[in-house]
């Protein structure tokens, strides 16, 4: 097992402060603390060669979990093992087996050419010269780095820099890679380059990936399994296919009205979602209502300018889970 997390808990204490100077003085002398339960009873196992999507809304506990898995934070309770080793106790050994890419943390030196950062990375991880040369050649080819590998990092575009960051974390050929929002801010072509690279490393080297992303295309195109966390607790752990099957009876119709609507006419069995005063979504169970029945109800109550039946995406499913929870 490459990742084993058992009943993880992590709680933070924050000082609650009233507004203004008086509030600041009061908080300094008589601080009032509030407990934030960032992670509560999270257990997770990931096998060698698996690609798992670890998803949740902002503040759900994703980053805190990854920091515990990589040894940056100690859990208050519970245990973590990476390929049989405890990250907090065997930091050096674990660091040689993992690669971590966080959005704000760079593996590259800002003012020196990219290649020199790669050489330094190889020295830090004791990668033999011949092995480094072979890996570098492959990474340059897969990530299309040839045109800018001799440029300082400060001169690179975001897409170029992210590709170089990926190359850096694979110079020591990690067995487990943690990616936090790996494609955020990238254009479509660079996103596909990154996704293709992840698929290649997974197939060729059985690299295990744990990916957090708000871009559901990352999750859908790469992950066979997803783990959904909300308010620090597990909501779902299983395959994308089974999650889709669970919601396969739910359909959505999107419509636009000719005049603004402030208050919707409620219809039993339908869930309305207001986008703005003209645009709405209606969600319904296909095992209860046919498309024709729903469309007729919409036209009976509203003056419609446009209407479309929408395919249920994983993004829609996850959004619904955040809003309504998930029935077991």
Q: Could you tell me if 26 and 62 lie in one domain?
A: yes
Helix, strand or coil for residue 166? helix
Q: How far apart are CA 132 and CA 30, in angstroms?
A: 56
CB 5 within 8 A of CB 44: yes
Q: Could you tell me if 139 and 184 lie in one domain?
A: yes
> What total number of domains does the chain contain?
2
pLDDT at 91 exceeding the cut of 60:
yes
106-149 confidence digits (pLDDT tens): 889 999 999 999 999 999 999 999 999 999 999 999 999 999 99
CB 163 within 8 A of CB 118: no
Q: Could you tell me if 59 and 168 lie in one domain?
A: yes
pLDDT at 34 exceeding the cut of 60:
yes
Q: How far apart are CA 126 and CA 223, in angstroms?
A: 31
pLDDT at 68: 96
Beta bridge partners of 232: none
Q: Could you tell me if 20 and 146 lie in one domain?
A: yes
Q: Could you tell me if 156 and 258 lie in one domain?
A: no
pTM of the shown model: 0.83
Place of tokens 């469309």: 295
pLDDT at 71 exceeding the cut of 90:
yes
208-263 confidence digits (pLDDT tens): 999 998 888 999 999 999 999 999 999 999 998 888 888 777 788 999 999 998 77
**Torsion sign, CA atoms 289, 292, 298, 300:** negative
Q: Could you tell me if 151 and 284 lie in one domain?
A: no
- Is the residue at 317 inside a domain? no
- CATH number of the domain within which 69 lies: 3.40.50.300
Contacts of 129 (CB under 8 A, 6+ apart): 122
146-192 confidence digits (pLDDT tens): 999 999 999 999 999 999 999 999 999 999 999 999 998 899 999 99
Q: Could you tell me if 154 and 290 lie in one domain?
A: no
- Is the residue at 327 inside a domain? no
- Alpha carbons within 13 A on the beta-carbon side of 282: 26
Instruction: Work out the average pLDDT over 304-311.
Output: 88
pLDDT at 27: 66
pLDDT at 316 exceeding the cut of 90:
no
pLDDT at 103: 67
What is the band of 327 on the pLDDT scale with cuts at 50, 70, 90?
A: low
- Is the residue at 322 inside a domain? no
Q: Could you tell me if 14 and 73 lie in one domain?
A: yes
Q: Could you tell me if 218 and 257 lie in one domain?
A: no
Provide Rg for the chain, Cα atoms: 24
Q: Could you tell me if 268 and 124 lie in one domain?
A: no
Place of tokens 């030196």: 109
Domain carrying residue 270? 249-311
pLDDT at 250: 79
Q: Could you tell me if 305 and 260 lie in one domain?
A: yes
- Is the residue at 111 inside a domain? yes
Computed over every residue of the chain, the mean pLDDT equals 90
Q: Could you tell me if 153 and 280 lie in one domain?
A: no
């Amino acid at each position: 097992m490459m990742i084993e997390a058992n009943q993880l808990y992590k709680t933070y204490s924050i000082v609650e402060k009233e507004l203004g100077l008086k509030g600041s003085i009061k908080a300094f002398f008589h601080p009032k603390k509030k407990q934030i339960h960032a992670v509560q009873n999270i257990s997770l196992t990931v096998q060698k060669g698996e690609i798992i999507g670890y998803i949740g809304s902002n503040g759900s506990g994703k980053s805190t979990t990854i920091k515990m898995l990589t040894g940056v934070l100690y859990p208050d309770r519970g245990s973590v093992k990476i390929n049989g080793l405890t990250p907090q106790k065997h930091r050096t050994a674990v660091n040689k087996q993992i690669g971590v890419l966080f959005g704000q943390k760079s593996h590259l030196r800002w003012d020196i050419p990219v290649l020199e950062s790669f050489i330094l990375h190889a020295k830090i991880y004791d990668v033999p010269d011949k092995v480094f040369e072979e890996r570098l050649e492959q990474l340059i080819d897969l990530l299309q780095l040839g045109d800018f590998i001799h440029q300082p990092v400060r001169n690179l575009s975001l897409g170029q820099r992210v590709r170089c960051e990926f190359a850096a974390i694979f110079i020591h050929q990690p067995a487990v890679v943690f990616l936090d929002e790996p494609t955020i801010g990238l254009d479509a072509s660079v996103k596909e380059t990154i996704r293709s690279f992840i698929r290649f490393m997974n197939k060729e080297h059985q690299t295990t990936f744990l990916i957090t992303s708000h871009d559901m295309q990352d999750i859908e195109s790469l992950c066979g399994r997803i783990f959904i966390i909300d308010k620090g607790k597990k909501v779902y752990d299983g395959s994308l296919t089974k999650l889709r099957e669970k919601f396969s009876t739910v359909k959505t119709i999107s419509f636009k009205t000719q005049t603004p609507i402030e208050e919707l006419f409620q219809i039993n069995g339908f869930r309305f979602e207001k986008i703005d005063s003209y645009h709405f979504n209606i969600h319904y169970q296909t095992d209860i209502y046919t498309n024709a029945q729903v469309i007729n109800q919409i036209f009976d109550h509203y003056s419609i300018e446009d209407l479309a039946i929408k395919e249920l995406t994983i993004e829609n499913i996850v959004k619904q889970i955040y809003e309504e929870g998930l029935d077991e």
